[in-house]
């Protein structure tokens, strides 16, 4: 008999995406063994979804649900995509607007409604999961509401929960009285060993406390968040749950990110033909970015949210120094205004060496992964990271800081043993990062054979979802 698994999350490709969470939720379910697992996904039906997806949804059922003193409409629509059944929770009051997320106080009520609605509709859609797999703080109240529901309804008894933390920094915190008023949960739940943290109610903490298993998206990050520096104020609760916690590395969709078949790049290539293919893609990228077309110059790519977490204060400290080297830098992303303006300035000041694209474009991101020689990712912390996995897949060697998932996925080059798939530095220090970049430059210019062997090793690494799915399956079986 198949185990029934329900993913509950706030976003998923291809329907709505703001970050890596959407890639995980949209890709991972496809890789489970269909003979053993019936995996379905539940999402909000945002008004900001593209019409091409909204038009494909089919109405299934609706109910009315109490959210403390409010009575709210809960619609359910469905769509099957790549063999996975998606449920969409409909309520225009909560999921209207131009963006999936808004102000903190509106998001708190929105995702309290979503968490309770996901559980409330299960009897109506006649699907009783064995395990509900909750993703990030937006689904953090699901295990809490489930605990509350069990006392009143036998339908919910025996359902297990898994809480996956994609980024501990985002926790869903708000005033306790307000959250009590929104949720209708009794005061029993708002104590320091449950939802309360530093005098606020904390959705993610509630999920961590009440879930049967807690996972994070890399082995190293699972250990890091048990320490004060990375624990974001929750290191104590993470330590207390260490025996029920495991790190399972994220993967990427190897069908979407495949340099041998990618239609978004100029020239396809494999680990055998990359010398010719990447050279053509590099020239194409340089032309697109109005940079001098030069096959011999080292091109460094950055595709990222432009935030402090990603190490852009380090880049700001040494960028002008870096521009004295024989390199070109291509940047793609949006984020904090100071970093957007910083890269716009560098584009203007070093227009023959730096090309900044302050927006997001999927096609250009593929061009950068394929056409660059190296990929810079100097994160302060990085739960898993997907960009370095994509760059490895395209033979673009990552230069990373040794933290979180970057440690678990990028093996630093050892020129004596001829091993490694990239370059790394340990301390969060701008000149240590610059030294790692310059070491990469030295290998690129002076030891081309070693560089090419490293590209080959990087491209032959397997970070597809197959391995991760097997680990999740084992955890489900144990539950």
In order of 20, 254, 420, 470, the CA distances from 467 in angstroms are: 18, 12, 20, 5
User: pTM for this structure?
Assistant: 0.93
Q: What whole-number distance in Å separates Cα of residue 347 and Cα of residue 354?
A: 5
> What 3-state DSSP class applies to 173?
strand
Contact 111, 99 (CB under 8 A): no
Q: What is the pLDDT of residue 44?
A: 98
Does domain 274-462 match CATH 3.40.50.2000?
Answer: yes
Task: Please give the chain's pLDDT, 479 residues, in tens.
Answer: 899 999 999 999 999 998 889 999 999 999 999 999 999 999 999 999 999 999 999 999 999 999 999 999 999 999 999 999 999 999 999 999 899 998 888 999 999 999 999 999 999 999 999 999 999 999 999 999 999 998 889 999 999 999 999 999 999 999 999 999 999 999 999 999 999 999 999 999 999 999 999 999 999 999 999 999 999 999 999 999 999 999 999 999 898 899 999 999 999 999 999 999 999 999 999 999 999 999 999 999 999 999 999 999 999 999 999 999 999 999 999 999 999 999 999 999 999 999 999 998 999 999 999 999 999 999 999 999 999 999 999 999 999 999 999 999 999 999 999 999 999 999 999 999 999 999 999 999 999 999 999 999 999 999 999 999 999 999 999 99
Query: Do 274-462 and 3-251+466-478 have the same topology in CATH?
Result: yes
Work out the number of other CB atoms within 10 angstroms of the CB of residue 275: 12
Which residues have C-beta within 8 Å of that of residue 434, sequence separation ≥ 6? 318, 321, 322
Cα–Cα distance for residue pair 154/134, rounded to 1 Å: 21
Tell me, what's the pLDDT at 104?
86
The domain locations on the chain are 3-251+466-478, 274-462
Alpha-carbon distance 352 to 288, whole Å? 13
pLDDT of residue 335: 92
Other Cβ atoms less than 10 A from the Cβ of 111: the count is 24
* Residue 18: per-residue pLDDT: 86
φ/ψ of residue 286, rounded to 5: -60, -40
Of the CATH numbers 3.40.50.1100, 2.40.240.10, 1.10.3210.10, 3.40.50.2000, which one belongs to the domain with range 3-251+466-478?
3.40.50.2000
Structure tokens at 155: 């339908």
The alpha carbons of the chain give a radius of gyration, in whole angstroms, of: 23
* Whether 128 contacts 115, CB under 8 Å: no
* Nearest-angstrom CA–CA distance, 193 and 234: 11
How far is the first Cα of the chain from the last one, in angstroms, to the nearest whole number?
Answer: 15
């Amino acid at each position: 008999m198949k185990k029934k698994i329900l993913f509950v999350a706030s976003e998923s490709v291809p329907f709505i995406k703001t970050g890596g969470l959407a890639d995980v939720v949209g890709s991972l379910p496809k890789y489970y063994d269909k003979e053993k697992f019936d995996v379905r996904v539940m999402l909000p039906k945002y008004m900001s979804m593209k019409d091409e997806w909204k038009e494909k949804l089919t109405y299934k059922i609706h109910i009315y649900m109490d959210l403390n003193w409010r009575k709210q409409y809960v619609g359910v629509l469905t769509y099957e995509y790549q063999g996975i059944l998606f449920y969409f929770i409909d309520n225009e009051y909560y999921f209207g607007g131009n963006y999936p997320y808004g102000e903190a106080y509106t998001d708190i009520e929105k995702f309290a409604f979503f968490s309770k609605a996901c559980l409330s509709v299960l009897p109506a859609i006649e699907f009783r999961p064995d395990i509900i797999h909750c993703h990030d703080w937006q689904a953090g109240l699901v295990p809490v509401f489930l605990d509350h529901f069990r006392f009143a309804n036998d339908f919910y008894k025996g359902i297990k929960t898994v809480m996956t933390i994609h980024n501990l920094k985002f926790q869903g915190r708000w005033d306790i009285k307000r959250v009590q008023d929104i949720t209708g949960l009794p005061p029993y739940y708002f104590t320091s060993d449950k939802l309360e943290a530093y005098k606020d109610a904390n959705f993610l903490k509630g999920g961590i406390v009440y879930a049967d298993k807690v996972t994070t998206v890399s082995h190293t990050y699972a250990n890091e968040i048990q320490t004060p520096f990375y624990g974001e104020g929750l290191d104590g609760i993470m330590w207390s749950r260490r025996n029920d916690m495991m790190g399972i590395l994220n993967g990427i969709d190897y069908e979407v990110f495949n340099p041998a078949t990618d239609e978004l790049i100029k020239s396809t290539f494999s680990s055998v033909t990359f010398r010719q293919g990447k050279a053509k893609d590099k020239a194409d990228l340089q032309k697109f970015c109005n940079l001098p077309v030069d096959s011999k110059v080292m091109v460094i790519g950055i595709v990222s949210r432009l935030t402090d977490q990603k190490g852009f204060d380090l880049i700001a400290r040494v960028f002008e120094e870096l521009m004295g080297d024989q390199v070109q830098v291509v940047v793609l992303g949006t984020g904090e205004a100071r970093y957007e303006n910083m890269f716009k300035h560098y584009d203007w000041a070093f227009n023959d060496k730096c090309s900044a694209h302050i927006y997001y474009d999927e096609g250009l991101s593929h061009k950068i992964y394929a056409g660059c020689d190296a990929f810079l990712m100097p994160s302060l912390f990085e739960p898993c990271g997907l960009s370095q996995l994509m760059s490895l897949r395209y033979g673009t060697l990552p230069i990373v800081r040794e933290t979180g998932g970057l440690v678990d996925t990028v093996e630093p080059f050892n020129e004596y043993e001829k091993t490694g798939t990239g370059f790394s530095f340990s301390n969060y220090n701008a000149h240590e990062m610059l030294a790692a970049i310059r070491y990469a430059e030295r290998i690129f210019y002076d030891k081309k054979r070693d560089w090419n062997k490293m590209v080959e090793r990087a491209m032959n690494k397997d970070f597809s979802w197959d391995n991760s799915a097997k680990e999740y399956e084992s955890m489900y079986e144990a539950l």
